[in-house]
Amino acid sequence: MKIYNTMSRQKEEFVPLQDGKVSMYVCGPTVYNLIHIGNARPMIVFDTFRRYLEYKGYDVNYVSNFTDVDDKIIQKANEEGVDASVISQRYIEECKKDMAAMNVMPATTHPLATQEIQGMIDMIQTLIDKGYAYPTADGTVYYRTRKFADYGKLSHKNLDDLEAGHRSDSHQLKVSGEDTKEDPLDFVLWKPKKEGEPYWESPWCDGRPGWHIECSVMSKKYLADEIDIHAGGEDLIFPHHENEIAQSEAANGVPFAKYWMHNGFLNINNQKMSKSLGNFFTVRDIAEKYDLQVLRFFMLSAHYRSPLNFSADLMEAAKNGLDRIVTAAGNLKHLEDASTVTAMTDEEKATFEASESYVKKFEAAMDDDANTADAVSAVFELVKFINTNATSENSKVYLDLLYDRLHTLCDVLGIILTQKEENLDADIEALIRERQDARKAKNFARADEIRDQLLQMGIVLEDTREGVKWKRA
């Protein structure tokens, strides 16, 4: 399998650090609002890549953070007159709902920046001890960018060009009080608290971490000093990922990530969709009109590195394409129910074998830098093949094998074929949560009522040490 590495600007053969295992870190959203569909793009494309790695048999440790301390969160908290944690908790919950509706698998770990402050203080101290960072009189700690010889290796930027850029901004720098730095290229690792802001104690001042140090620390703690894949949107290449590399490699003394993957922008009228430009749709906006499976399918219709222009026409095309696949799957199930033949014929065996070519096509596309656009084409070809090679005269076994083949490929794409059953599962889980809440509130009558309701639906509950499990009776 080949993946395009932003570092080398080439497609490279993927060889994980450890046989059979993949460690992957994807920069997550800053949680001060509902996520927009631009934020959804990395979630969907890297979730699909993860699913493919798992399909190939890798054991994937997938970490994606929530940035839950940030100027924008604090600003929103002040506007609402609540604690910053109220805002971040609210939007983490909302983000998780959107992810579930887009069938994005939960990460192995979703760390929160505010829960990892001690690790950040430790890494900053290591950087100071090694001469890569310095505190200034007001307790701000800066990274000494020029000390890191490889700075710019990911974004392919040259320090002198960067400095020239900074010089032309120098008026602005003075205004923002950043003139205590040794060098305009230095960036913040820790900054002093301001009135009304959340803060933590540190050896330098009461304050909070800079954004870049969060990911270096969470990646180290939940994965390792050296990881296989680090990913995010292409806007993160510079400065965020460049700074992460400078921090992690200086502190840990080993290369940070072997492969760097970046998704292209989701655009609207050929302009990047972003909160600051105000040209965005939230995932919730889209959910009013479409099942979010359609949004997922729309995202996968393009290669993840290409810019993708959002439009009503493309969403309609995605909806129609998805319908074609789901209908073919539904037909197979109907035919299977209607079929009275049990044993598979030799002819069926041969036809089924012929359908393997679409699986090979799918795999070849995904092996080529996760080319989901071509993988989706292979699925369409399989659907066409199924539509012409399945009737109620066929055996149940044959129809079931075809269904499984389609299901397996769609599962890699995160496309759900049996919508009804999935919705039912979500309903059941919602009832179980409601029952747990009722029990917590000592409303045992309601809790028993829900248990009975579930029993009537054929669902049996079992209270275990890891929580409530359920199964169909």
Pick the closer one to Zn ion by CB: 215 or 250. 215
> Which window, 94-102, 144-152, 178-186, 215-223, contacts Zn ion (CB under 5 A)?
215-223
Restricted to residues 12-31, the positions that interact with Zn ion (CB under 5 A) are: 27
Restricted to residues 237-276, the positions that interact with ligand AMP (CB under 6 A) are: 263, 265-266, 272-274
The least CB distance from residue 224 to Zn ion, in Å, is: 16
Q: Binding string to ligand AMP for residues 92 to 111, with x set by CB under 6 A, is what?
A: --------------------
The two most distant CA atoms of the chain are separated, in Å, by 83
HSE (CB half, 13 Å, CA atoms) of 52? 24
Work out whether 41 is an interface residue with ligand AMP (CB under 6 A).
yes
Work out whether 113 is an interface residue with Zn ion (CB under 5 A).
no
Contact partner, 371, from ligand AMP, Zn ion, none, Cβ < 5-8 Å per class: none
Pick the closer one to ligand AMP by CB: 235 or 400. 235
Count of residues that interact with Zn ion, criterion CB under 5 A: 2
> Which window, 231-239, 336-344, 352-360, 404-412, contacts ligand AMP (CB under 6 A)?
231-239
Work out whether 303 is an interface residue with ligand AMP (CB under 6 A).
no
Pick the closer one to Zn ion by CB: 16 or 111. 111
- For tokens 């140090």, the residue is 213
Task: Among 7, 24, 27, 141, indicate the residue that binds ligand AMP (CB under 6 A).
Answer: 27
Count of residues that interact with ligand AMP, criterion CB under 6 A: 17
Task: Among 210, 233, 321, 414, indicate the residue that binds ligand AMP (CB under 6 A).
Answer: 233
Pick the closer one to Zn ion by CB: 215 or 326. 215
User: Are the C-beta atoms of residues 25 and 231 closer than 8 Å to each other?
Assistant: yes
Which residue's CB comes closest to ligand AMP? 233
The least CB distance from residue 232 to ligand AMP, in Å, is: 4
Work out whether 39 is an interface residue with ligand AMP (CB under 6 A).
yes
Pick the closer one to Zn ion by CB: 218 or 328. 218
Closest CA to 110 of 67, 74, 58: 67
With 0-12 CB in 10 A as exposed, 13-18 as middle and 19+ as buried, what is 228? Answer: buried
> Which window, 23-31, 196-204, 241-249, 375-383, contacts ligand AMP (CB under 6 A)?
23-31
Work out whether 268 is an interface residue with Zn ion (CB under 5 A).
no
Work out whether 232 is an interface residue with ligand AMP (CB under 6 A).
yes
Task: Among 73, 141, 236, 454, indicate the residue that binds ligand AMP (CB under 6 A).
Answer: 236
Contact partner, 12, from Zn ion, ligand AMP, none, Cβ < 5-8 Å per class: none
Pick the closer one to Zn ion by CB: 262 or 319. 262
Contact partner, 215, from Zn ion, ligand AMP, none, Cβ < 5-8 Å per class: Zn ion
The least CB distance from residue 386 to ligand AMP, in Å, is: 34
> Which window, 9-17, 36-44, 416-424, 445-453, contacts ligand AMP (CB under 6 A)?
36-44
The least CB distance from residue 40 to ligand AMP, in Å, is: 8
Work out whether 63 is an interface residue with Zn ion (CB under 5 A).
no
**384 φ, ψ to 5°?**
-60, -45
HSE (CB half, 13 Å, CA atoms) of 308? 30
Name the site residues for Zn ion (rule: CB under 5 A).
Answer: 27, 215
Name the site residues for ligand AMP (rule: CB under 6 A).
Answer: 27, 29-30, 38-39, 41-42, 232-233, 235-236, 263, 265-266, 272-274
